[in-house]
Amino acid sequence: MSKRIFASNTFTQIAPDADQTALENDFLIKHIFEKAPAIVFLFDLNERKITYINHTVEAYLGFGGHEIIAMQDQVIERLIHPDDREEMHEILRNFKTDPRHVAHIQCRVKTSDDHYRHFSLHASAYETTSDRGVKSSLNFAIDITAEKEALAELTKSEKLRQEAEKVAHIGSWELSADMQHAVWSDEVRAIVGIDKETVVGPSFLKNIIHPDYWEEVESSLISTVTEG
């Protein structure tokens, strides 16, 4: 006899049998899942296939639920990015031995037009066996493609800025509101002649500025911090 369990980071609740509570009714549970904005699916750990997936998947991946279910035990190889598959298989191995295991990974999933979208996947044991093994997992996949693309653009912009500073032999730096902490770009450090490990603070800045100019520099810094 198997039991369904619902697990989170803070608790694990074993649901009673189907004839004792509506939570054990597959129809009711799946009806709730169909309303979820995330992709929700059940994964059979023994046969390594998806046995249920909500309609939300089509909006994100372009595949109908029936198409993904039809992939059977090839679903990971066909949809998960090659670089992310091993971590996915590791999660499945952990579930087989620990019904309380809760996993969270980020992975890339192929769409019907052969592109990849980024997802944050949260998985927990759903159905256990009589010997405390895990038969299936409950999974929520949240699309984070926009966040990943924004981060990639930010990283690209930062690299371009660093290259521009290097070519023009100029640099940039930031100063905290209390004027106690400064962040210097690599090119500023190269110009001044200090390595990346050297901590830069007000006293260091004062030491490298000629005394005749320090009062003017300090006044400018205070004005920038207080007035913007």
Predicted confidence (pLDDT) per residue in 176-202, tens digit: 666 677 777 777 777 777 787 777 776
CA 45 to chain centre: 23
Determine how β-strand 102-110 pairs with β-strand 3-7: unpaired
Which CATH number does the domain housing residue 209 bear?
3.30.450.20
Domain boundary among 143, 158, 184: 143
Do residues 139 and 159 both lie within one domain?
A: no
> What span, in angstroms and rounded, lies between the C-alpha atoms of 146 and 149?
5
Q: Are residues 42 and 130 in the same domain?
A: yes
pLDDT at 25: 53
pLDDT of residue 12: 34
DSSP string, 58-95: HHHHS--HHHHHHTGGGHHHHHB-GGGHHHHHHHHHHH
120 & 155 share domain: no
Residue 135 host element (H or E): strand 134-143
Query: Which domain range does residue 57 map to?
Result: 3-143
Do 106 and 19 lie in one domain? The reply is: yes
pLDDT at 112: 96
Judgement on whether residues 9 and 122 belong to the same structural domain of the protein: yes
Identify whether the C-beta of residue 48 lies closer than 8 Å to the C-beta of residue 96: no
Look at residues 126, 143, 160 and tell me which one is the last residue of a structural domain. 143
71 and 106 housed in the same domain: yes
Confidence at residue 9, expressed as pLDDT on a 0 to 100 scale: 35
Same domain, 93 and 169: no
What pLDDT is attached to residue 224?
Answer: 73
2, 59, 60, 96, 116 from 113: Cα distances, Å = 39, 13, 11, 33, 9
Q: What is the pLDDT of residue 187?
A: 75
- Whole-angstrom CA distances from 48 to 43, 54, 116, 222 are 7, 18, 21, 63
Q: What does the pLDDT read at residue 131?
A: 75
Q: 143, 168, 184 — which closes off a domain?
A: 143
Instruction: Kindly state whether residues 139 and 221 are assigned to the same domain.
Output: no
Instruction: Identify the pLDDT of residue 168.
Output: 64
Q: Say what the pTM is.
A: 0.61
Q: How far apart are CA 45 and CA 26, in angstroms?
A: 18
Domain check: are 139 and 163 in the same one?
no
Same structural domain for residues 74 and 173? no
pLDDT (0 to 100) of residue 108: 96
Task: Identify whether residues 109 and 164 lie together within a single domain.
Answer: no
Residues 110 and 213 grouped into a single domain: no
Q: How many domains does the chain have?
A: 2
Ranges of residues in the chain whose predicted pLDDT is under 70: 1-31, 160-162, 164-169, 171, 173, 175-179, 202, 225, 228
